[in-house]
Structure 1
């Protein structure tokens, strides 16, 4: 059975749906420390243009992935942090895996050797997804931030390119 969606570059036309999916992940409570979605302008400014994608079913955005630089220091030019979110109704269709594959292809083509992410330990689905995509847990940041009045840990995940570096 083939995919019922296509993965392509994220554009401003997708803004409303991308931010709605982000808000949904925020509301679920185990996706991010954020408590509100940013404006499109802030979202757009904080993500690398060549490394953000959407999964589309026609014109409907099913999910998105985007990467940000971890530092402006030149030694970290090949390291990015990413986020991946899928609409609740589109889960279980391979959308997140397809989005991660697109991100990995674009980052490797650009000479990026490390893609990382911080994931709450309670987010079992995200941890399993990342493991399938070749990420590994490289550490636990204990009580790294407060979220809804309680301290939360994150697991630092990393995928090192096999072809860059």
Structure 2
């Protein structure tokens, strides 16, 4: 199997590994600094990031010319309970300079294929309603809005809502 799983000529999507740590965490921090990506305010150290993401469902999108990481996607388990073994939560971050170039979509498409091959039947995510680009991207990839969790947490001193979305795989029954 080729590492090239993306569908853009200028971007290669490949499994994330420890050599990507600095770029992945810098992109993560840039997203956090933007204020509408997560309740988190500081990207974790690599060992914590590595420990909390499923190894089989972590990808980076890299520029085919420079090799620079443009974005990443990863899965975290929703629960350790056996009944939820086919449910994951995704995180998707694109470098600010690469946004609007289709990097998020190629990452999400690769991720969906990966999870379906592993018989994961539901991908879910919580997105701030202000992050309209991420909501649109996920909707175009087959996610639906489950509902809004109002005032679910405080972020930078104010209450924030989170839109809960999910994608049920039509390929995994």
TM-score interval, smaller chain: over 0.9
Aligned mates of 1:163, 1:134 — CA distance in 2: 13
CA-to-aligned-CA distance 1:116-148 (integer Å, 9 cap, x gap): 000000111001100111001001101111100
Once superposed, what is the RMSD of the aligned Cα atoms?
0.7
1:9 equivalenced with 2:15 (yes/no): yes
Shift of 1:59: 2.2
Corresponding residue pairs, total? 164
Question: What secondary structure does 2:151 align onto?
Answer: strand
Runs of 4+ in 1 over 6 A off after TM superposition: none
Shift of 1:154: 0.1
Question: What secondary structure does 2:165 align onto?
Answer: strand
Alignment match, 1:153: 161
1:123 equivalenced with 2:131 (yes/no): yes
TM-score (norm 1): 0.98
Aligned mates of 1:3, 1:35 — CA distance in 2: 34
Alignment match, 2:140: 132
Alignment match, 2:92: 84
Structure 1: gaps spanning 5 or more residues? none
Shift of 1:5: 1.1
Question: What secondary structure does 1:100 align onto?
Answer: helix
Shift of 1:22: 0.3
1:143 equivalenced with 2:164 (yes/no): no
Alignment match, 2:40: 34
**Where do residues 23-102 of structure 1 align in structure 2 (5 Å cutoff)?**
23-57=29-63, 58-102=66-110
TM-score (norm 2): 0.93
Question: What secondary structure does 1:121 align onto?
Answer: coil
Aligned mates of 1:88, 1:149 — CA distance in 2: 25
Aligned mates of 1:159, 1:88 — CA distance in 2: 25
Structure 2: gaps spanning 5 or more residues? 1-7
CA-to-aligned-CA distance 1:9-31 (integer Å, 9 cap, x gap): 00100000000000000000000
